[in-house]
Amino acid sequence: MRRQIAAVLAILTVLNGLAMLFAGPLWYQNVPGVTETGPFNPHFVQDVGAAFLVAGLALAARAWRPRYWPAAVAGAGFLAAHGLIHLALIVSGHVHHVAFDLVAVVLPSALALYSAFPNQGEKYA
C-alpha cells in the first residue's frame, strides 16, 4: 500500500513541479492563496518547482523499487517541512484557505512520510 501511495503522490508532486518550472505565472495565479504571499517571482517559483520535481522523482523511485526508500525519505522530508510551515501558518491564523492547505499540502506531506519508509518485513537494501 505504501508504494501505491508513493506512486500517486509522485505523479502529483512531479506535475506540480513541472507546472512551477514551465508555467509559473499560470501556477501562481491559480493556486489558492499564492497571490496573497507577494508579487510573482519567477526565479523563486522555479527554484521551488525544482524541489517539488526532485521530491516527486524520489517518491517515484520508492514506488518503482522498494529498496530506494532512502531517496523517498529525502523527498518526503522536503514535503514534510513544507507541510509543517503551512501547518504553522494555519495555527497562527495567517492562512485564508485552510481547507485547501490541509488537503493539498499538509495531508500529502504526512502521506509522503508514511509511504517513504519500508513496511515491516519488506526487503530493502
What pTM was computed for the model?
0.93
Whether residue 109 lies inside any domain: the answer is yes
Measured from the Cβ of residue 81, the count of other Cβ atoms closer than 10 Å reads: 12
Please return the burial class of 10, using the count of CB atoms within 10 Å of its CB with bins 0-12, 13-18 and 19+. Answer: buried
| pLDDT value, residue 100 | 96
| pLDDT value, residue 43 | 98
| pLDDT value, residue 124 | 60
Q: Which amino acid is at 64?
A: W
Rounded Cα distance, 78 and 12, in Å: 15
Whether residue 36 lies inside any domain: the answer is yes
Give the structural domain span for 43.
Answer: 2-116
* CA distance readout (Å), 108 to 39, 47, 103, 124: 26, 20, 7, 24
Contact 46, 17 (CB under 8 A): no
Whether residue 122 lies inside any domain: the answer is no
Give the total number of structural domains in the chain: 1
| pLDDT value, residue 121 | 72
Whether residue 31 lies inside any domain: the answer is yes
pLDDT, mean of each 10-residue run, the chain (125 residues): 96 98 98 94 98 98 92 97 97 94 97 92 64
| pLDDT value, residue 88 | 97
| pLDDT value, residue 123 | 64
CA 31 to chain centre: 14
